[in-house]
Structure formats: structure tokens, C-alpha cells
Structure 1
């Protein structure tokens, strides 16, 4: 049943989720109030039913997104409408972002599903971007969100050919920022690492590629497809920043099997509901914290703090501790976004932490 959709990841076990008198399709692209979907009869544009519009008005997370499996209902005039979003196996959700204390990001409580039913999250980070090295803080954030989605994160250090020397040191730093997951250097223009990335898509697995503009995401998609399916542009001269070639998320079936979702460049991305994603990314700090003298140690100036001891000895990079604190702050903010009293307490807490961090930085040689 629905064999024509098996290359897109459809499993017959999902048939029980379909409402009566509907057929399945997968969302390839979304526009306002409508979606491009791939069904057994081919690709078509469908509008949302009243039920879908009501559900998404009440909760933005109910909006259909790229990668969703949906139920299509045939209308009397012959066209179809998108009548229901089927349960998601995984969902990559970004939180709304705003600037908060200390220049970090905080959530505004509005989530957005970037991709659904994804097996692998490719975190694409350029080895060089605008004259700077890879952004380890961005890698930590995206990997934490990937773990939260339920998918498996993989870091692809793109444009690896720009590194004539020192690539091994950069990859070592990335592996510290993304412990326990696969990290690969890739150079799609030269074909390096493309087969490794393709290996994660064997069968009908789906991957979403996330990263900043200019990271080479569309170039990687073209290399995986073996042809030009996405427009690409070079980074701008002068500042080295990428142009936003991809302006929408799009699901692309690959000729050799597997599906990839290309995305626009991400400038900032906030955390949403926080589970253990941050803890998994910062397992080293969590392990150190267990050795602190006090169970409620804030890792600021307390005696017997194993985290501060590791910082002083050089075992723990200060950059990594700062990144952990930012994500912890967002996690606390998101947890308190519906509780005004708790939100005020968190604001006061982080004011104290920011003040202590600045004082410690001034006193550190």
C-alpha cells in the first residue's frame, strides 16, 4: 500500500494514522496557507482545511512544515486539501529569540517547527567564515537543539579545503564542542566527504541541513544529488558573509535514495522546550559539577567548585563555560515563560551571575 511513497520514507504502519477517506502525502514546501506536497499521484499544491487553520491559530507548532506527513482529502470539485498533520516522529523546533541579560538570547515562548520526521540533523559549519574560524558556540547550540528534536546530529565542517594547515586542530576543537557525535570535514566543490554524508541517508532516511548563510548547504545538496537542484552563490567579497540563496525550506528526494531538507541560513536560533540536549552537549561540565563540594554550587566563587578548578587549570576552556551558561539561562527562561514570578526570580539570579562573571574575568590573569 502506498508503495510509490516508500522512497520518501512512508511506512505502511502509518496507515492506521490516516483519517477515513484520505490519502497520505509528504510536505515538500510551505507557503502562506498552502503547501506543496508529494503524493502517490505526484506533486501538487494544496490549501489547508478549516480544521488545520483553527489548530495552527491556537498553536503555531500545529502548522504544517517541511517533512510532515499529512492526510489529503479529495473535495467534490476534484482538488485536494490538507486535512490533517499526522503525528511527528521527530521535530526540530526553534524558539523565538530576543536579547536578554548579558547579550545572550532568551525565548519569547513562540516556537516554530523547522523540519519534521527527520532522522539526521547535519550541522553545517564553515571552517572559515568572514575571516573567522568555525563558530563553536553555534555548533553547541544547534547540536543541543538537534538532540532535543529526537534526530541524530552530525557536524559537517564545510569548506575544509580552505584550511591548508591546522584542520586537525580545528576538528579537535569541534569534537570538544560536540562530544560523542560524528564530525566530518567536507568540501562539496571537490567531492571530499560527500560520500560520508550520503551514507547517513541510506534507504529512505531524511536529513535536514542547518547552518549560517555561506556555509555551503546548497552546494552540499547539489553534490548529494549529483546535479544542480539548488541555486548557489559565492560569499560576498569584503566581509566574507554568505548571501541567502535559499529563501525557503524545501524537501528534496535524492536520485540515489534518501531525502534532504535544505534551509535558509540561520542568523539566530533560540532554544524551545529544554530536555537533556544541553546536558548531552556539555557532558564534561555536568561531570565536573558532580564533583563540586556543594550540591547547589553556582560555579561562581564557591569553595570546592570543581568547575572553577578545571577553568583555572586550563582543563575547561572559558569559552565553553560561557556558552554553557548562556544555554542554561535560556533553558531557565523558557521554563519560566508562563510564570511571571519565576521569570522575575530568574532575571535577578542572572543579574548576580553576570556581575560575578565580569568580576571573575577582570581578576583572572
Structure 2
């Protein structure tokens, strides 16, 4: 855990009247005396939290654990929770999770159909790529899908601009892939680009940095914080790929007052239920598809296919279209597995949220809280 003591003034961690109103409704519904806290770090099922009672470690209650259906139902870094401090023990019991305003989710690695919550209640997510061999346009598209679907504002951030003679082509390509999304180039070494990030680092705002290992997320945090909050490792010189530095998710407060979520690097971002984010990321392809002669056009050999015409004249990049189809298949496969699991549970006499209900639970309308009794 981070050895530096955290300021336990909840307002400095993003607490406001909206959270207070929600907490009061929850607190009056249960018989236990609870207080609000924010999850600042997670180590398996042990949580580090900040509350009016101080900085504590916490676990969920037995009732909470019994009611949880999936890993995504458990608290995640960024969540506001209702806790019962254990006097004199430096520990607390988590009884409920307040409704989430946003949540970035990805599928867990492997064949298991479970979601992994990267972070919650995020206002802005910086999609970090470095200006060296790490740059990958298709990877940027995948991150855009996940961030847009989370309910957070995406911002594309190119780090290590000091290593690139001319970042303009990278910036232009990112702007083409993500029209309307802010794109910045920064360097922690030369102190370039800090002013452009200021609007996203306002007091009380929670921001996250996501990207693959070695893109400079920890260096970015240390630079903006003006302190060595996270250890930094050098990238491998043979392939410009990074080593893992951050090993867990943790919230830090920046001097400007923003709350920063530092995350481990991701070798691969596996899609979850991301229909909204997918359509928003590929609006150009969707608009072309809507112009096809036939409504059920498969964009293969049909006459009057606007998508095929755009591919042939070069106005639609072939690799971008390939990623469009690839992510479409991934999302459809997840939806089919979800439906299969729900049907199987129903036959056994159980119940499970529908696919749309599970998604709604994790997005702006939030992950529901449990009875605090």
C-alpha cells in the first residue's frame, strides 16, 4: 500500500451534495450506523478506503458477499461506499456501494464470462499511448469503445513527445480516428503540455490513465503530482515495450485538486458489453452502412454497398473496417454467452439480470447498493 497518509477530508476526494443526498437515503434505510467512504485502492478482496474516521482497510460484509452475483458487484477503486468502522482496529466493514455515475469495464482474461471493473465514478479517462513503437491505431479504437461505454469523457494523450521529432502525423491520425475527442502530446521530461491538461484536473474531478505497459502512465502521474508517487521502470530497448510498474489500481490526489486513478498496464483490452461505445467509435462506418442500397447488407458482394465502395476508393481504411468487424463479433459473442448463462440459470429456478439490466447497473445509473441492515 502507499505509505503516505492520505487526507481524509471527503470533499477533497470528490464528495459533494449529490453523493450526500444518495448516502442519506441509504443510511436511513438500514439499522446499522454507517458513514461514507471512498475506495482508494484494492488488493484482491481487501480495500483501502478514506473516510471521516481516517484511512482504513475494509472488507465487505457477509450479507454483501452473499448477495453479490458477479465480480462487478463488488466494490471497485473509485466507488463510494457505506462503511461501519470497527473502533480501535483500523478496519471497517463495507455494507453497501452507492450508485455509480460511471464505470469502465472489461472482460476478464480467459474463457470465463466475468467483468472486471477498471475504475468507477470517473469524469475523464486519458487513453495513453507513447510516441514510439507503442503507437497502435487499432488499440486506440478498442480503448475508445470501452471509455465511451463507461460514461466517462475520453481524452487521447500521447506521452514521450521528446522522443519524437514530429508528432503531427500521430496527432492527425488520432483526431481522424476519434473526431471530437481532445488529443494532446506531452512530455514529463521536457515539461511539455501541462497547460493543456489543466481543464481536466479541476478539484473534485476524478480522472484515470489507461494504456499498455510502458507508455508512461506512472511517469505522467509523478510529473503532474510533482512527486515520486509511483516507481518508474525503463522500457525495453529492443522492442520499445514496457515493463509493468503499477501492480494495482490506486487513487492519488494531485496538487490541483483532481483525483487520479493509476492503473496497471493492459496487454490486451478484451471487450465487454460495449454496443453504445462501439457505435460511437465507428460512426463513419455506421453512416456508410446506413447508405447501402439494402438494409440487411452484409458488405460483402451486394450491389449498391456503400461500405465496399468506400474500401475500394480508399476513403475507408481497410484495417479500421477489419477492427470494426472484429470488435462487433467480440461484443456479439459476449451477448450470446450472457444470454445462454441467463437461460441456464432460469431453468434451474434462479434469476439473473438481463444483459441490458446488467449493463445499465454499471453505467451512469449505477451499480445498486445493498440493504445496510
Partner of 2:59: 47
Contact 2:53 2:85 in 1 (8 A): no
Counterpart in the other structure of 1:83: 95
Where does the alignment leave 5 or more consecutive residues of structure 1 unmatched? 99-106, 342-365
Deviation at 1:196, TM superposition (A): 1.8
For residue 289 of structure 1, what is the aligned residue in structure 2? 289
Distance 2:179 2:295 in 1: 25
Corresponding residue of 1:143: 144
Counterpart CA distance in 1 for 2:318 and 2:298 is 15
**In the alignment, is residue 127 of structure 1 matched against residue 104 of structure 2?**
no
The structural deviation recorded for 1:340 is: 5.2
Q: Does 1:162 align with 2:163?
A: yes
Structure 1 residues 147 and 232: CA distance shift in structure 2, 3 A:
same
1:345 alignment counterpart: none
The Cα offsets for residues 146-166 of structure 1, whole Å up to 9 and x where unpaired, read as 01000000000111222213x
C-alpha displacement of 1:191: 1.2
- For the 8 Å contact 2:108–2:115, the answer to whether it is kept is yes
1:359 is aligned to none
The 3-state SS of whatever aligns with 2:329 is helix
SS at match of 2:198: helix
Q: Aligned partners of 1:77, 1:33: CA distance in 2, in Å?
A: 21
Contact 1:272 1:334 in 2 (8 A): yes
RMSD: 1.9
Q: Secondary structure at the match of 1:265?
A: coil
CA separation in 2, counterparts of 1:161 and 1:299? 43
Q: Tell me, what secondary structure is at the counterpart of 1:36?
A: strand
Report the alpha carbon displacement of residue 199 of structure 1 after superposing the two structures with TM.
2.3
Structure 1 residues 296-332: Cα deviation after superposition (integer angstroms, max 9, x where no partner): 1111121111111111111111111011111111121
Say yes or no: does 1:13 pair with 2:22.
no
Structure 1, residues 187-211: CA drift from partner, whole Å, max 9, x if none? 1221111232232021210011000
> Hey, what's the Cα distance between the residues in 1 that align with 2:307 and 2:112?
30
Between 1:287-296 and 1:231-240, the stretch displaced more is 231-240
Which residue matches 2:335?
Answer: 335
Q: What is the rounded CA distance, in whole Å, between the counterparts of 2:228 and 2:339 in structure 1? A: 49
- Please state whether the residue corresponding to 2:230 is helix, strand or coil: coil
3-state SS of the aligned residue for 2:272? coil
Q: Which has the higher contact order (CA 8 A, sep 6+)?
A: 2
Q: Matched residues in 2 for 1:138 and 1:176: separation?
A: 14
**Structure number having the greater strand percentage:** 1
Q: How many residues align?
A: 326
User: 1:172 Cα deviation (Å)?
Assistant: 1.1
Shift of 1:337: 1.0
CA 1:319–1:340: 2 relative to 1, 3 Å: same
Please report how far the alpha carbon of residue 75 of structure 1 lies from its aligned counterpart in structure 2 after TM superposition: 3.7
